[in-house]
Amino acid sequence: MSALTQPVPRSLAPARSRPRRRLNADAVAGMLFVLPAVLLVGLFFLAPLVMTGWMSLHNWPLMGVPRFVGAQNYLSVARDVRFWHALAFTVEYTLVVTVAIFAVAFPLALYVERPRALNGAYRTAFFLPVVVGLASASLLWIWLLNVDSGLFSPAVQALGLVDHPRPLLGAFGSAVASIIVMVVWKTAGFTMVILLTGLQSIPGEIKEAAIIDGAGPWERFRMITLPLMRRTIALALIISVAGSMLAFDQFYIMVGGGPQNQTITAVYWIFNTSFVSFRLGYGAALSIVLLVLLLGLSVVQLRFLKDPDGVR
């Protein structure tokens, strides 16, 4: 496309050498236009990325001189039971929360896709929590979940369902369940909009043809909607999985990694290593391991996105 957009030498141009000089000036202008963006990305993203790799080969304290230790940090990572425990917890959380988000978002997308009165208002309502920050949402739910001054426990008590409610964030199971409910509330609207774009891209004629052929709603959903939405579903999946694998805010704010450090996620463990224990080199090695795992996960999911026989 850009071949056509080349500034064509105007008939007004007097000299033969003009087009060439003009092209150079244009190239310089273009480079100047993109320079600030490239500099920022280079300085605050690519340089730290390279530094992460470099630091991971060092024993790097906050104060004092870094010492080169080769692959020793990576050997320590392999033996770091608490990191692998944190990673296992993060994977379990990701699986459950992703299923929960889709279980809510898919019906909502199907619901708001059909034309009906108030549809715009419903979409806005379902989407509203998405623009509230994760930190605000976490703080909000700490209050709602509080056993004395919150909403759920006193409400359940007032209805006479429980005599002595227990703190929901005090036990592992109920804490994780509460956090998952909060995250589903906050992110279902986002996934819903992504899925909605996929639903709306299915040509109406295909649906109508299936109806004429006598396909029931479930058959149409399985044989038409799902296969035609493969790309959209994969995209929503990648976004949800990547976001959940990097979970930190809600676990830090709502439960502080507790009870008994059972809800420390992978990013939380890296945060503790680097910025609480100040073992920066080791934290960098953990970051690289997490980065490689996540990139691998994305590649697998992207393959699923491209594979025409991925679904069925």
Partner 1 sequence: MTLVSEPPRRGGTPHLGAVAAQGFGLVAAALFIAPVAWTALSSFKPEAEARQPPLPPWPTTGFSVDTYRSLDQFGAGIGRYTWNSSVVAVGTVALTVLVSLLAGYGFSRFRFPLKNALFVVVMATIMIPFQSILTPLFILLSRLGLQNSLAGLVLVYVTLQLPFSVFMMRNAFDAVPREIEEAARLDGCSSLQLLARIMLPLVLPGIVTVALFAFLASWNEFLAALIFISDDRLYTLPVMMTAVSAGRMGSVDWGALQAGITVMMVPCLILFLLLQRYYIRGLTAGAVK
Site for partner 1 in 253-272 (CB under 8 A): 253, 267, 270-271
State the Cα–Cα distance between residues 312 and 156, nearest whole angstrom. 43
Question: Residue from 97, 175, 241, 290 that binds partner 1 (CB under 8 A)?
Answer: 290
Closest CA to 254 of 129, 89, 139: 139
Number of H helices, E strands in the chain: 15, 2
Interaction between residue 144 and partner 1 (CB under 8 A): yes
- Cα–Cα distance between 98 and 87 in angstroms, integer? 16
Task: Name the segment binding partner 1 (CB under 8 A); options: 72-80, 88-96, 136-144, 169-177.
Answer: 136-144
Q: Name residues contacting partner 1, limited to 54-83 (CB under 8 A).
A: 55
Q: Is 40 in the site for partner 1 (CB under 8 A)?
A: yes
Q: How far is the CB of 95 from partner 1 (least distance, A)?
A: 18
**Contact between 32 and partner 1 (CB under 8 A)?**
yes
* Residue number with CB closer to partner 1 (214 or 308): 214
**121 touches partner 1 (CB under 8 A):** yes
Q: What are the structure tokens assigned to 66, written together?
A: 């870094």
For strand 58-59 and strand 67-68, is the pairing parallel, antiparallel, or unpaired?
Answer: antiparallel
Helix (H) / strand (E) element for 59: namely strand 58-59
Q: Which two tokens stand for residue 154?
A: 């006193």
Work out which of 106, 190, 251, 269 binds partner 1, going by CB under 8 A. Answer: 190
Residue 85 touches partner 1, criterion: CB under 8 A: no
**What's the Cα-to-Cα distance from 266 to each of 1, 138, 188, 276, 288, rounded to whole Å?**
44, 19, 23, 15, 12
Binding of residue 15 to partner 1 (CB under 8 A): no
Residue 88 vs 197, nearer CB to partner 1:
197
Contact 166, 82 (CB under 8 A): no
* Binding to partner 1 in span 147-176, by CB under 8 A: 148-151, 153-155, 158
Tell me the closest approach of the beta carbon of residue 161 to partner 1, in angstroms. Answer: 14
